[in-house]
A and B are shown apart, each in its own frame.
Chain A
């Protein structure tokens, strides 16, 4: 049991998530496109490559690194049978995100976030609920362009967060931010595909390792 959990942690990229995406894929999915200069958030300036005709362009090299870290982290969480919750408040992609979560076997919340869902679980769900072990934000703003309440709540409940941060978002409380576009359908489809593949890969790896252990 010990070896099952400690062996993956010794490798830097046990699940080989680097091969799932390339710079060209990110560029074709228009992940590098940010919002206009006026919408720029101060803390996103390190991640921005430059500004063309007042539109911010996100540095895809940094995005690659951050995406690799984030996908590796989700793979480890999925390997250890953690509960993953996909959060997005973008109405256009609500259906896409929910379908992705359903296909992975994980959970999604793309609807109105009621006040104490994470902080007041006894009232909402009952005693003995298990909280999510990872929150993935496919869009870290809510419909009023303010940071999603779940970022703060997850930080309060010590739940690690992975989030796609656009140029108008605040990357502060997110543990593994991924600077990238969250408005284009192609970019969202790419992210959903990547997360789905990592989670399924990690779960299959877990089943494989457990089967090996049974045999030996």
Chain B
């Protein structure tokens, strides 16, 4: 009996259906030989040494020999190792006499169910161990697990790991069992096993970089910030030990922004940090309208205030949305419509 590779069907359950997706072991071996030969030919063509021709060199050579203006990178000509091109597939699951190798073969999703079986077994063993400890009153205190640094596998990652299609219910049951396993008091013993199913999540706090304070001639600390909103661009210098005086383009804030709403916007970052009368501000702003300029100055001042304030307060600022540029810009008018969204009046006849 030849071992035939079959695809993990993406759309259909049709794992066994004969189609162009079946790759025999011999076919893949031949492809690998052809690839290696081709690599050497390519190296000779480019004048490089065939022995030390890496995948990056192949990519550069192919891009040089076959320049393509196509936008999709995967549509351009490529030359990669066959294991990357032909997706990883499952071999036929039974032996010569027809008996399947895996004891859960007849369920259909053997790897998923065997994984659940294994995890449940570990869960039962942990419970027994816990009962023994309880009988001897040696139960260890549960320390809080660090939840922020890791996440569980996503459904797609699990499917890739098991090489099988899963349903959403299957995935949620898997996650529930993992959570149960971890929340047991003796869950630390199975840490290694559980770590296989968790991934690190880079903390987002590190993205915000805080600049150090600068000092001018009198020794007063200040910092600058830049902000934008719609078409308005603003640069702001925030001075320490101030009285809350704000100057915009050389004009006092009361004269530049006669409307209360705009002045409230300028005040918001200081109010949030309880530093209302403590800083002086000198701003330059251009472009946009009244409201846009106010928003731009607000963003710039919040960015400047980052240097004066602790890490925790910076995180509060970020979560309050004071440090994010508002991405809303005026949408263009489209032909065949009266405005960006408004259509012409529809007349029945």
A binding-site residues for B, Cβ under 8 Å: 81, 83, 85, 95, 98-99, 101-102, 105-109, 111, 114, 117, 122-130, 132
Q: How far is the CA of A106 from the CA of B17 in the complex (A)?
A: 27
Q: Which residue from B16, B100, B105, B113 sits with its C-beta under 8 Å from A127?
A: B16
Contact A108 B103 (CB under 8 A): yes
- Given known A124-B13, A126-B15, contact A107–B92 (CB-CB < 8 A): no
- Given known A95-B124, A123-B14, contact A85–B92 (CB-CB < 8 A): no
Instruction: Report the minimum CB–CB distance from A87 to chain B (whole Å).
Output: 9
Residue B104 CB within 8 A of the other chain: yes
- Given known A127-B16, A129-B94, contact A107–B108 (CB-CB < 8 A): no
- Given known A95-B117, A126-B16, contact A114–B108 (CB-CB < 8 A): yes
Residue B332 CB within 8 A of the other chain: no
Q: How far is the CA of A106 from the CA of B120 in the complex (A)?
A: 20
Contact B97 A98 (CB under 8 A): no
- CB neighbours (8 Å) of A117 from chain B are 106, 108
Closest residue on chain A to residue B14 by CB atoms: A123
Within 8 A of A (CB), among B142-199: none
Q: Which residue from B99, B109, B117 sits with its C-beta under 8 Å from A98?
A: B117
Instruction: Report the minimum CB–CB distance from A202 to chain B (whole Å).
Output: 15
Closest residue on chain B to residue A85 by CB atoms: B106
Contact B120 A111 (CB under 8 A): no
B binding-site residues for A, Cβ under 8 Å: 6, 13-18, 92-94, 97-100, 103-109, 113, 117, 120-121, 124
- Given known A126-B92, A129-B94, contact A107–B120 (CB-CB < 8 A): no
13 interchain pairs, CB-CB under 8 A: A81-B97, A95-B117, A95-B120, A102-B103, A111-B113, A117-B106, A117-B108, A123-B13, A123-B14, A126-B6, A126-B92, A127-B18, A128-B98
The 9 closest A-B pairs by CB, nearest first: A126-B16, A130-B98, A102-B103, A109-B107, A109-B106, A111-B107, A107-B106, A107-B103, A98-B117
- CB neighbours (8 Å) of B18 from chain A are 127
Q: How far is the CA of A107 from the CA of B15 in the complex (A)?
A: 21
- CB neighbours (8 Å) of A85 from chain B are 106
Q: How far is the CA of A123 from the CA of B121 in the complex (A)?
A: 31
Closest residue on chain B to residue A104 by CB atoms: B103
Closest residue on chain A to residue B18 by CB atoms: A127
Contact B103 A132 (CB under 8 A): no
Q: How far is the CA of A25 from the CA of B85 in the complex (A)?
A: 60
- CB neighbours (8 Å) of B14 from chain A are 123
Q: How far is the CA of A102 from the CA of B104 in the complex (A)?
A: 9
Contact B117 A125 (CB under 8 A): no
Closest residue on chain B to residue A120 by CB atoms: B13
Q: How far is the CA of A101 from the CA of B117 in the complex (A)?
A: 12
Q: Given known contacts A107-B100, A109-B104, A123-B16, what 10 new A-B pairs fall within 8 Å (CB)?
A: A95-B124, A98-B104, A105-B103, A106-B103, A108-B103, A108-B104, A126-B15, A127-B18, A129-B98, A129-B100
Q: How far is the CA of A132 from the CA of B100 in the complex (A)?
A: 10
Instruction: Report the minimum CB–CB distance from B51 to chain A (whole Å).
Output: 43
Instruction: Report the minimum CB–CB distance from A48 to chain B (whole Å).
Output: 33
Closest residue on chain B to residue A130 by CB atoms: B98
Q: Which of A83, A99, A122 has the most CB of B within 10 A?
A: A83
Instruction: Report the minimum CB–CB distance from B127 to chain A (whole Å).
Output: 12
Q: Which of A102, A106, A122, A126 has the most CB of B within 10 A?
A: A126
Closest residue on chain A to residue B15 by CB atoms: A126
Q: Which residue from B15, B99, B104 sits with its C-beta under 8 Å from A125?
A: B15
- CB neighbours (8 Å) of A123 from chain B are 13-14, 16-17
- CB neighbours (8 Å) of A95 from chain B are 117, 120-121, 124
Contact B103 A98 (CB under 8 A): yes
Instruction: Report the minimum CB–CB distance from B1 to chain A (whole Å).
Output: 8
- CB neighbours (8 Å) of A109 from chain B are 104, 106-107
Q: Which of A105, A111, A127 has the most CB of B within 10 A?
A: A111
Q: How far is the CA of A122 from the CA of B12 in the complex (A)?
A: 13
Instruction: Report the minimum CB–CB distance from B295 to chain A (whole Å).
Output: 55
- CB neighbours (8 Å) of A122 from chain B are 16-17
Q: How far is the CA of A173 from the CA of B185 in the complex (A)?
A: 48
Q: How far is the CA of A61 from the CA of B97 in the complex (A)?
A: 39
- CB neighbours (8 Å) of B99 from chain A are 81, 83, 130
Q: How far is the CA of A101 from the CA of B106 in the complex (A)?
A: 12
Q: How far is the CA of A105 from the CA of B97 in the complex (A)?
A: 14
Instruction: Report the minimum CB–CB distance from B161 to chain A (whole Å).
Output: 19
Q: Which residue from B15, B94, B109 sits with its C-beta under 8 Å from A130?
A: B94
Q: How far is the CA of A114 from the CA of B170 in the complex (A)?
A: 14
Q: How far is the CA of A146 from the CA of B135 in the complex (A)?
A: 41
Closest residue on chain A to residue B104 by CB atoms: A108
Q: Which residue from B15, B93, B106, B124 sits with its C-beta under 8 Å from A132?
A: B106
- CB neighbours (8 Å) of B117 from chain A are 95, 98
Q: Which of B92, B93, B103 has the most CB of A within 10 A?
A: B103
- CB neighbours (8 Å) of A126 from chain B are 6, 15-16, 92
Q: How far is the CA of A119 from the CA of B17 in the complex (A)?
A: 16
